Amino acid sequence: MRCSSKTVIMAVVAVFVVTMMAAGCGKKNQGDQGAPEVAVVVMQYEKVPIVRELPGRTSAFLVAEVRPQVSGIIKKRLFTEGGDVKAGQSLYQIDPAPYQAAFDNASASLAKAEANLPPLRSKAQRYKELVAIKAVSQQEFEDVTAAQMQAEADIKYWKAALEAARINLGYTNVNAPIAGRIGKSSVTVGALATANQPAAFTTIQQLDPVYVDVMQSSQDMLKLRRYMASGTLKGTAVNQAKVKLFLEDGTPYPQEGTLKFTDVTVDPSTGSFILRMVFPNPNGTLLPGMYVRALVQQGIAEQAILAPQQGVSRDPKGNPYVLVVDPNNKVEQRMITVDHAIGDKWLVTEGLKGGDRVIVEGLQRVRPGVPVKVIPFKPAATQGEANSKTEPPKPAQPAPKAK
């Protein structure tokens, strides 16, 4: 009986110990299962180009207003409105008759003056010899010499008059000063042209290449200079900066442009300054005055931190912050400073460093100080990948025949 009682007691103790161990394991498993699960992205330093999207408008590379330089009646118009013209091409013909007459008159007067000079020159030479032997008076010699000089001056005068008449006669052909696309004509055949009139006959614009003028705030300029001074941003030379363009309907422009210069004056009414770019325009897609958006690369951040936008929240004051997991797997709130968006990420300038684990999924289930279970973040599959993984629909079965 004693042995059986002792056996019963040992069995009870063994059952008690096993029960307590099972209860402890159960509590431990419940503790592990109670920690919320969060997905994190590990921050890494990246080399990121700093690109600004700026609004702007296009303008012609060269603009020339065509005006007459002589007065007269327009006899012909020699171009098609809206077409392309070459430099030096004749555009209008002004009545040349009065200018031709002035040219002929100057030419005849020059010939008359040149004909008078040889006899006066010979006479002056003879009088020079005669005055030496007192055969003629000094006064007569001086009169002949003065007549010779007058004839030489008349020749110079009529040469200049002939050149002026030739220039005015050439101005009766109104030529294109530059090559480009010509606009509508403001005058017709038979209209009176006035020399140097304020109203232009027409306008020629060179459209290949074209200028694109965009506006950037002076605040952004100061920020960029501060980053460059601190060494966090490496600048790009103005004549080497490449620019991409989007048209007003959102389509990308196929040609790449070059940033030419930055204006030195800030507009006091807008607090911005002008960046001028040059874009090739071989197909004439860009027209003066079009609204465009330019993507300007203004530097390269050598060690940039990009945080997913879905992991960045804002406090009631609008300040951005993220929740990170510390080395003890506990949640920590971190205030950050963001510069601008790059795709679906924020460029973080302060608050994060390489190796930080930022929570991007499960934010609603955690708060600062709470221990969490960490899993790596897996981006959702794109629509194309999702469609490729789905099974193709089965073909429809034919309806059973009625018996």
For 224-246, what is each residue's pLDDT tens digit?
666 555 555 455 554 556 788 99
Measured CA to CA, the distance from residue 192 to residue 230 in angstroms comes to 66
Neighbours of 114 (CB within 10 A): 15
Residues 187 and 223 in one domain: no
Residues 270 and 366 in one domain: yes
Residues 86 and 217 in one domain: no
Identify the pLDDT of residue 120. 86
Phi and psi torsions of 256, nearest 5°: -95, 140
Give the CATH number of the domain where residue 102 resides: 1.10.287
In a domain, 141, yes or no: yes
Residues 233 and 356 in one domain: yes
What's the pLDDT tens digit per position in 134-164? 888 888 888 888 988 998 999 999 999 999 9
Q: What is the pTM of this model?
A: 0.62
Identify the pLDDT of residue 339. 78
Identify the pLDDT of residue 15. 52
What's the pLDDT tens digit per position in 269-328? 888 888 888 999 988 899 999 999 988 776 677 778 888 988 899 988 889 999 999 888
Identify the pLDDT of residue 396. 43
Identify the pLDDT of residue 296. 79
Residues 89 and 227 in one domain: no
Residues 78 and 141 in one domain: no
Low-confidence ranges of the chain (pLDDT < 50): 1-3, 8, 17-18, 22-32, 233, 238, 382-403
Structurally, how many domains does the chain consist of?
Answer: 3
Give the CATH number of the domain where residue 298 resides: 2.40.30.170
Residues 249 and 317 in one domain: yes
In a domain, 18, yes or no: no
Residues 153 and 136 in one domain: yes
Residues 352 and 211 in one domain: yes
In a domain, 26, yes or no: no
In a domain, 5, yes or no: no
Contacts of 336 (CB under 8 A, 6+ apart): 307, 312, 320, 321, 322, 348, 350, 351, 352
Per the structure, the complete domain to which residue 195 belongs is given by: 68-93+174-199
Residues 144 and 247 in one domain: no
Residues 327 and 212 in one domain: yes
- DSSP assignment of 165-232 equals HHHHHHHTEEE-SS-EEE---S--TTPEE-TT-SS-SEEEEEEEEEEEEEEEEHHHHHHHHHHHHHTS
